[in-house]
Amino acid sequence: MLLSHGKIELPPLEEFQATQLRELYISFFKSPENVPRSKVELIEKLSEQIDSVELQTLIGKLEATQAFKHIYLFAFERKNCKQDLLSALLNDTNFPVKVESTDLDLYVVGSHIQPYPTLRLAHSVMNKIPVSTGQDTFKLQTVTFRHAVVVAIKLDLGIVEVRFNGFEQSREVPKTERINYISIAESIRDFITQKLETPVKGLALKEAVNRLLSKYPDEVVQGKNVSRVGGGRVLIETFEGDDAPSFEEMFKTAFKSNQPSEVMEKWAAENITLRWKNLHVHTRIDFTPTTPEIYFLWKGSPMRSVEGSDQIVRRLVEFSEISYAKVRESISLALDDMGTNVFTPFELMQRAIAPYEDTLSFLLEQTSANKVAMRFRIRTNANLHNMTNHWRESLSDVPHEVTTEFEETIDTTDGKNVEVAFVKQAEGK
């Protein structure tokens, strides 16, 4: 693992911006005088003191409170958790601690109490990079690097945030070693559920976004919308600038409709980009089946800070309140309204404004009761050789292996490569 000073608990100082390192330098040396100007000098001077417990604490706090690009949101099922177990988790100083509930190489390396309970994790990620061996010759070298993950537990909102900046892995990394971001979020969800003995589930945010856009048009506006409609996708994107038409104006012109919300009501949004006017920040909300992901496009915003992301998350969560006792009723009513077409759990969960886990559980119950039937197809948008990728009634009708137009082989015996949908059964069938 490529680590600064060989300490898994600490991030490499190179990851921080020069302005952050200056603040760190001033906080540690307790003086604004003689502060090195360049980032290289700052790193050199701070590295000389890296064995100081005080400096290590300051570095950990700096990592925990930086503005990350990706935030996955989860909610406590009972809107609370066991305080004694949370205290035990936060006060465990036997760091680093391996997270055993996942195949990922994750370690808890620190905790903080203020301004809310926070865990720092170090994620070891493998990559293959070309290394020069001479003039015009290279060889692939396997390296591992530290990827920071921060978990914020906000008891007042009843949520858990999984934050990180993301990373890249080269094409040469074997498929078995490639990591998708959602698996990190799911691993943290399972870890928190296990440690706090309180179920943590996905958060339904689509309706919260609609309410926010309706109530505060002077604060936040929609810039882009990608949605599933029928058997395809619709993309609507507005230009930026004070003279650009609003999303609603553009929609009315394009679709000849005075009621965009009514037209889009039954669309299954895949992602929506919001522009927060006062904060000068763009966020893209991806509605994944597991839980929503908020991707921050900071673009040099003066509000690039944890306070800025906290403010946006609070706004969204405050508008996402749903009654857990009425979740099943909401899913049932949405199912009644789905018609006779094939639909995915993702589409139903958005219609019902319900967590994905509850939606899928309800559909499986309805399958056992012969109220709905399952359908299967290969999870890809690419064209396939010698076959069409339509919905099939039986999993046995799906070939065990197929080849795409890009000559990529897909092994359908791996359940991750098969998409599952449902269709309502006719009465009496």
Would 164 be classed as within a structural domain?
A: yes
The domain boundary, picked from 289, 318, 347, lies at 318
By three-state DSSP, how is residue 103 classified?
coil
Question: What's the pTM value of the predicted model, to 2 decimals?
Answer: 0.76
Answer yes or no: do 337 and 263 share one domain: no
CB 216, CB 102: distance < 8 Å: no
Domain that holds residue 129: 70-202
Answer yes or no: do 269 and 147 share one domain: no
Q: Backbone phi, then psi, for 160, in 5-degree steps?
A: -125, 130
The alpha carbon torsion through 57, 62, 63, 64 (nearest 10 deg) reads 90
Answer yes or no: do 152 and 189 share one domain: yes
Answer yes or no: do 188 and 227 share one domain: no
Would 429 be classed as within a structural domain?
A: no
Answer yes or no: do 338 and 351 share one domain: yes
The domain boundary, picked from 64, 83, 99, lies at 64
Alpha-carbon distance of 338 to 314, in angstroms, equals: 32
CB 317, CB 208: distance < 8 Å: yes
User: Would you give per-residue pLDDT tens digits along the chain (429 residues)?
Assistant: 334 434 678 888 998 889 899 999 999 999 888 899 899 999 999 999 988 989 988 999 999 999 999 999 999 876 567 788 888 888 877 888 888 888 899 999 999 888 899 999 999 999 998 888 877 788 889 988 899 999 999 988 889 999 999 999 998 898 888 899 999 999 999 999 999 998 888 888 888 888 888 888 888 989 888 998 877 888 888 877 666 677 888 888 777 766 777 778 778 889 999 999 888 899 999 998 889 999 999 877 777 889 989 999 988 988 875 444 467 778 888 898 888 889 999 889 888 877 787 888 889 888 888 899 999 999 998 899 888 999 999 988 999 999 998 888 998 888 888 999 999 987 655
**Which of 265, 229, 266, 220 has its CA nearest to residue 247?**
220
Would 237 be classed as within a structural domain?
A: yes
By three-state DSSP, how is residue 160 classified?
strand
Query: What are the tokens at 220?
Result: 């936040």
Total domain count, the chain: 4
CB 391, CB 376: distance < 8 Å: yes
Answer yes or no: do 345 and 253 share one domain: no
**Which of 169, 168, 190, 156 has its CA nearest to residue 72?**
190
Would 115 be classed as within a structural domain?
A: yes
Answer yes or no: do 189 and 218 share one domain: no
In one letter, which amino acid is 374? M
By three-state DSSP, how is residue 317 classified?
helix
In whole angstroms, how large is the CA radius of gyration of the chain? 24
Strand partners, 420: 376
CA 334, 340, 345, 347 dihedral sign is: negative
Would you call the peptide bond into 399 cis, given omega within 30 degrees of 0 as the criterion? no
Answer yes or no: do 160 and 123 share one domain: yes
Answer yes or no: do 211 and 181 share one domain: no
In one letter, which amino acid is 70? H
Would 169 be classed as within a structural domain?
A: yes
Answer yes or no: do 91 and 33 share one domain: no
Answer yes or no: do 310 and 339 share one domain: no
Answer yes or no: do 313 and 291 share one domain: yes
The domain boundary, picked from 318, 344, 360, lies at 318
